[in-house]
Amino acid sequence: MPISLGISAANTHDSQALQPLVQGIPPIRSRRGPRLRRPAKLHADKGYDYPHPRRWLRTRGITPRIARRGIENSTHLGRHRWVVERTIAWLTGCRRLHRRYERKPDHFLAFTAIAAALICYRRLPK
């Protein structure tokens, strides 16, 4: 389960947080063949529909699947988006993350990483 976490201020635009998140995805290990260094495609909603994120993704060999503002309906991304929404719901189940008690963003990011690791551990087959 490759996962990348990031926190930002509430007034930061979504398109500015895209590059650090994609760069933070760890290499995917497979049983056969070489490691994949990046995902093949990226699904995103209309908040990421700007030329610079699309250009940046294409230069890295990632196919952007971003709903276009005013043209496409974002419901087509629903079958992929529910994975993100479900994971966010699992993260809000952690009381410490539901309200932000930490003043330093590094502490909050550390607790978020611990919660994500616990979620991944619970999803492993027994």
Is residue 7 assigned to a domain? no
Helix (H) or strand (E) holding 27: none
Helix (H) or strand (E) holding 11: none
Is residue 5 assigned to a domain? no
59 and 52 Cβ atoms separated by less than 8 Å = no
pLDDT value, residue 30: 67
Summarised one tens digit per residue, pLDDT across range 7-55 is 877 788 888 888 888 888 877 666 777 766 667 888 887 888 889 999 9
Helices (H), the chain: 14-23, 51-59, 78-92, 95-98, 105-123
Number of domains, the chain? 1
Is residue 9 assigned to a domain? no
Radius of gyration in angstroms for the set of CA atoms belonging to the chain, rounded to a whole number: 16
Summarised one tens digit per residue, pLDDT across range 102-118 is 788 888 888 888 888 88
Is residue 72 assigned to a domain? yes
- 66: pLDDT strictly greater than 90: no
Is residue 6 assigned to a domain? no
Is residue 1 assigned to a domain? no
Q: Which domain holds residue 94?
A: 14-123
CATH number at residue 93: 3.30.420
* Cα angle 59-57-67, degrees, rounded to a multiple of 5: 140
- Identify the weakest region by mean pLDDT among 52-56, 71-75, 99-103, 122-126: 71-75
Is residue 27 assigned to a domain? yes
Is residue 91 assigned to a domain? yes
Confidence of residue 58 (pLDDT cuts 50, 70, 90): very high
77-107: burial string, b at 16+ Cβ within 10 Å, e else? beeebeeeeebeeebeeeeebeeeeeeeeee
Please state whether the predicted TM-score (pTM) of the whole model is above 0.85: no
